[in-house]
Amino acid sequence: MKLKVRFETPIGVPVEAELEPEEDLYQVLRERGQAGWTAVRLRYQGIALPLACEECFDWRLLGASVVERDGFVEAVVIGGAEYKRRDLAERRGLPRVIKYSRGARDGDPAPLVEGSGQDRYVTLVRFVGAGPCPPELCRRDRSDRPGG
Amino acid sequence: MKLKVRFETPIGVPVEAELEPEEDLYQVLRERGQAGWTAVRLRYQGIALPLACEECFDWRLLGASVVERDGFVEAVVIGGAEYKRRDLAERRGLPRVIKYSRGARDGDPAPLVEGSGQDRYVTLVRFVGAGPCPPELCRRDRSDRPGG
Amino acid sequence: MKLKVRFETPIGVPVEAELEPEEDLYQVLRERGQAGWTAVRLRYQGIALPLACEECFDWRLLGASVVERDGFVEAVVIGGAEYKRRDLAERRGLPRVIKYSRGARDGDPAPLVEGSGQDRYVTLVRFVGAGPCPPELCRRDRSDRPGG
Amino acid sequence: MKLKVRFETPIGVPVEAELEPEEDLYQVLRERGQAGWTAVRLRYQGIALPLACEECFDWRLLGASVVERDGFVEAVVIGGAEYKRRDLAERRGLPRVIKYSRGARDGDPAPLVEGSGQDRYVTLVRFVGAGPCPPELCRRDRSDRPGG
Amino acid sequence: MKLKVRFETPIGVPVEAELEPEEDLYQVLRERGQAGWTAVRLRYQGIALPLACEECFDWRLLGASVVERDGFVEAVVIGGAEYKRRDLAERRGLPRVIKYSRGARDGDPAPLVEGSGQDRYVTLVRFVGAGPCPPELCRRDRSDRPGG
């Protein structure tokens, strides 16, 4: 099976990459993501990953650059849009969720927009629920950290 | 003839897979579907399959995970959206239909939305009509059951 | 020149097929169409074919199954949608047209919808005008007839 | 570099063609265009070509058939839609333009529609401005003329 | 890894190019861009590049032709649309931005349109922020300048 990924490059030119058999999908996403190439598509309510992923997630997989403060990834930036960290505590039976989202813009496709009235937003990723984080989604070590 | 399938991966990155000649389409859909890769596209009124498929359908083909209760697949989940089982008895000449559907959201594309007013919904699959279930769509055996 | 066709399969999974040099496009469309794979895209006013094609057209090319009565293809079905035969006689200088169409649905893309008010519809194929039917679009013989 | 082109065929089935290294893009467009395969996408205000192209343009490149009168291409037809010739003389500092356009339909995508009120239209090609016509866009000789 | 780029050609026919291993992405963009082939997709607020790129950016990468005056690229043209240079000085803590934008048209996709009321526009590129310009985005030398 040959895999292909369609990237948006920093100069706005989409490029499709066809992987060689010996190339690893996640490694390619990491390397290209570091150069600002992104292949992620936004989803309603964001990409759902286990809460455990929040501490180790490698944002380069999404072509995102990160803004860190006090050891947290405070925000991530893709294609000039900034998604901010929001930590929603457990309440009324709903589990804790950590989301990275941004305010909605007039032109955002309706299927992506959550909320209503003044509080309309678009979510990139939500970390929620039990289970371990798949190792291929994690940074490998401290020297592998974004921004470090 | 070489076949290609375009998957959505759990991290929101679409990946196209080109099958090798010896690879079987349905087996690839099963394996990737188990890892949460989905290639299904929603259709108006849902994908139509014979009623006989309802008992054996392998939901991994659609990249869906299942919620079972009392031996029934009570609901299936794709990309965080939950489609619930509805069993509509035969009436007024209309045949029995078992559907898996969810409430419509504001942003759902109009061509996919059924119903009206408060009762608007989107159907993933409908099992309806005579005829056997094609074997390639069925789970192979008990140990092959989702969740089991 | 290598040719590729993008099919919708009966389980809602799009699959792209790349033909081998020795494979014939129309034969592939026929074989896959018989299994319910369809590659057709709807067009405003329908696909235009010569009137002569109406008697021999091989609907499997479009992945359609047919409902026959009295030797006519009364209706054709693609992806659960039924397109009915309409025979519009010559009048006011307009030539005879035989169309296969269905009533419009709320969510149909505007560019596909004809008519107005209560009489809004979508056309799959219209047979109209002079000229022979290209042989590659015809059923080969009686035993090759759909449903027979 | 390998080139690929996506055609619409006369039976409404899109087909992608991957050219062999020895095949010429424009020759392939001509040959397939003669059989009614079209790869053109409409653009706002039409495809812009130098005025000099109007006399020699090979409409087969766009999969168009032509209606000639008095030595002019009076109209061209793609997928059943007829685009008529309009010759707009130079005025108020605007250069002469020869356009092939059709009246807008209710369902035309907004980005393609020009004009307003009753005079709304869609342009296929506009010939305007100085400069020679690139030879690869021209008919080769009289026997190469469409319709002749 | 094999790379593919999808161009719009001057005759409105999209063509996908698959690069050979020895071909350089940026060199291909330059060569095709010089012939008017463009692969760029518009983005909300435009493609973001460091301010340092403004002096050396090679517009051929986007398939744009340029209008120069007094040593500045006063405007760039892609597919008949002209994007004009606007130099917004630093103010209220916002950094200096040089943009190439055009007035919005009725049919522009909502996600691309900025501003409101009479002042609605679409941005192709914005040069803003610190950092060097990546060499692969720059013209190589004076003889390599567009229009020269």
What confidence score (pLDDT) does residue C141 get?
58
Mean pLDDT of B118-137: 92
Share of chain A above pLDDT 70, in %: 95
3-state SS, D34-76, equals HCCCECCCCCCCCEEECHHHHHCECHHHHCCEEEEECCEEEEE
Q: Identify the sign of the CA torsion E60, E61, E62, E67.
A: negative
Give D86's Cβ-side CA count (13 Å radius): 17
- Give the N- to C-terminal CA distance of chain C in Å, as an integer: 35
Q: Is the pLDDT of residue E145 over 80?
A: no
Are there at least 3 beta-carbon pairs closer than 8 Å between E and C? no
Q: Identify the sign of the CA torsion A47, A53, A54, A60.
A: negative
- pLDDT tens for C23-35 read 999 999 999 999 8
**Residue owning tokens 């340029």:** E66
**Residue owning tokens 């706002």:** D44
Mean pLDDT of D30-39: 93
Inter-chain touch E45–A12, beta carbons under 8 Å: no
What confidence score (pLDDT) does residue A53 get?
95
Mean pLDDT of A77-82: 87
B110 touches chain A (CB under 8 A): no
Inter-chain touch B4–C16, beta carbons under 8 Å: yes
Q: Which residue of A has its CA nearest to B11?
A: A47
Q: How confident is the model at residue A141 (pLDDT cuts 50, 70, 90)?
A: low
Whether residue D15 contacts residue D9, with contact meaning beta carbons closer than 8 Å, is answered with yes
Mean pLDDT of D24-38: 94
Inter-chain touch B5–C16, beta carbons under 8 Å: yes
D20 touches chain C (CB under 8 A): yes
What confidence score (pLDDT) does residue B141 get?
58
Helices (H), chain D: 25-34
Mean pLDDT of D34-56: 92
- pLDDT tens for D92-126 read 988 999 999 999 987 788 889 999 888 999 999 99
Tokens representing residue E108 in the block: 């522009």
Distance, in Å, from the CA atom of C36 to the CA atom of B13, rounded to the nearest integer, reads: 29
Instruction: Identify the DSSP state of B94.
Output: B
For chains A and B, CB pairs below 8 A equal 67
- pLDDT tens for C86-113 read 999 999 988 999 999 999 987 788 889 9
> In Å, what is the CA distance from A66 to each residue of A101, A143, B77, C51, E32?
13, 15, 31, 63, 35
Inter-chain touch B5–C14, beta carbons under 8 Å: yes
What confidence score (pLDDT) does residue E127 get?
95
> In Å, what is the CA distance from B102 to each residue of B45, B76, D48?
12, 10, 47
Compute φ and ψ for C35, nearest 5 degrees: -90, 10
D113 CA to chain C: closest CA distance, Å? 13
* Partner residues linked to E39 by β-bridges: none
A109 touches chain B (CB under 8 A): yes
- CA B20 from centroid of its chain's CA atoms: 25
What confidence score (pLDDT) does residue C107 get?
76
Cα-only R_g, chain B: 16
C41 touches chain D (CB under 8 A): yes
Residue B80 or residue A114, greater confidence = A114
What confidence score (pLDDT) does residue D143 get?
47
Q: How confident is the model at residue E121 (pLDDT cuts 50, 70, 90)?
A: very high
A131 CA to chain E: closest CA distance, Å? 33
Q: Which residue of D has its CA nearest to E17?
A: D3
Whether residue A10 contacts residue A63, with contact meaning beta carbons closer than 8 Å, is answered with no
What confidence score (pLDDT) does residue A148 get?
36
Inter-chain touch B41–C106, beta carbons under 8 Å: no
Report chain E's mean pLDDT, rounded to a whole number: 89
- pLDDT tens for B16-64 read 999 998 999 999 999 999 988 999 999 888 998 999 999 999 999 999 9
Residue B148 or residue A90, greater confidence = A90
Name every chain A residue with its beta carbon within 8 A of the beta carbon of E62: 11-13
Distance, in Å, from the CA atom of C60 to the CA atom of A37, rounded to the nearest integer, reads: 42
> In Å, what is the CA distance from D124 to each residue of A60, C48, D147?
43, 20, 20
Rounded to the nearest 10°, the torsion over CA C89, C92, C95, C98 is -30
Name every chain E residue with its beta carbon within 8 A of the beta carbon of A106: 110, 113
- pLDDT tens for C24-71 read 999 999 999 998 899 999 988 899 899 999 999 999 999 999 999 887
A7 CA to chain B: closest CA distance, Å? 9
Q: Is the pLDDT of residue A119 over 90?
A: yes
E11 touches chain D (CB under 8 A): yes
Q: Which of C31, C44, C127 to mutate to test the interface with D (most CBs of D within 10 A)?
A: C44
Distance, in Å, from the CA atom of E5 to the CA atom of E27, rounded to the nearest integer, reads: 12
Q: What one-letter code names the amino acid at C102?
A: R
Q: Which residues are within 8 A (CB) of B31 and not within 5 positions of it... i.e. 6 or more apart?
A: none
Name every chain C residue with its beta carbon within 8 A of the beta carbon of D106: 110, 113
Contact map slice: E 61-90 vs A, CB within 8 A: 61-62
What confidence score (pLDDT) does residue D141 get?
58
Are there at least 3 beta-carbon pairs closer than 8 Å between D and B? no
- pTM listed for this prediction: 0.81
Distance, in Å, from the CA atom of E14 to the CA atom of D16, rounded to the nearest integer, reads: 11
Question: Among partner residues A8, A15, A20, which is closest to E25 by beta-carbon distance?
Answer: A15
Q: How confident is the model at residue E80 (pLDDT cuts 50, 70, 90)?
A: confident
Compute φ and ψ for D123, nearest 5 degrees: -105, 135
Distance, in Å, from the CA atom of B53 to the CA atom of A67, rounded to the nearest integer, reads: 50
Q: Is the pLDDT of residue A38 over 60?
A: yes
E52 touches chain A (CB under 8 A): no
Whether residue A146 contacts residue A65, with contact meaning beta carbons closer than 8 Å, is answered with yes
Q: Which residues are within 8 A (CB) of E3 and not within 5 positions of it... i.e. 6 or more apart?
A: A15, A16, A17, A18, E18, E19, E25
**Nearest residue to C125 via CA among C75, C72, C71, C70:** C75
What confidence score (pLDDT) does residue C44 get?
87
Name every chain E residue with its beta carbon within 8 A of the beta carbon of D5: 13-16
**Residue owning tokens 């469409």:** D146
What confidence score (pLDDT) does residue D142 get?
45
Report chain C's mean pLDDT, rounded to a whole number: 89
